[in-house]
Amino acid sequence: MKGICYFCGREIEVSQTVGRLEMCPYCRRDLHSCVQCRFYDAAAYNECRETQAERVIDKEKSNFCDYFEFSGRIRESIKKEDVISKLEGLFKK
């Protein structure tokens, strides 16, 4: 199956079950990490929507989570200038 690496944004070929030691062939970052998982949610408790999963401190490193499912989503980058302009827009009449 094809997916997108969260870190470099490049399309990669991944197996149905991503192993704990698998890495992106382009950026060499861990594929079996929280930020690459479909349950990862920065707004959720412990940043995970899977309630049975154990807490993982470093979300960008490989871990032993049994609930991991590769998501293939791209990291959203937020630019400081965009945030400032949106905030300034709130206060203009």
Q: Where are the domains of the chain?
A: 1-93
Residue 81 binned pLDDT confidence (cut-offs 50, 70, 90): confident
Query: Cα–Cα distance between 71 and 93 in angstroms, integer?
Result: 42
Nearest by Cα to 2 from 64, 73, 65: 73
Average predicted confidence (pLDDT) for the chain? 89
- What pLDDT is attached to residue 93? 62
- What pLDDT is attached to residue 32? 96
- Flag whether pLDDT at 75 surpasses 90: no
Query: Cα–Cα distance between 55 and 52 in angstroms, integer?
Result: 9
The residues, any chain, with a CB within 8 Å of residue 62's CB and separated by 6 or more, are 20, 21, 30, 32, 33
Which whole-number Å values give the CA distances from 19 to 53, 69, 70, 82, 85, in the listed order?
17, 10, 10, 37, 42
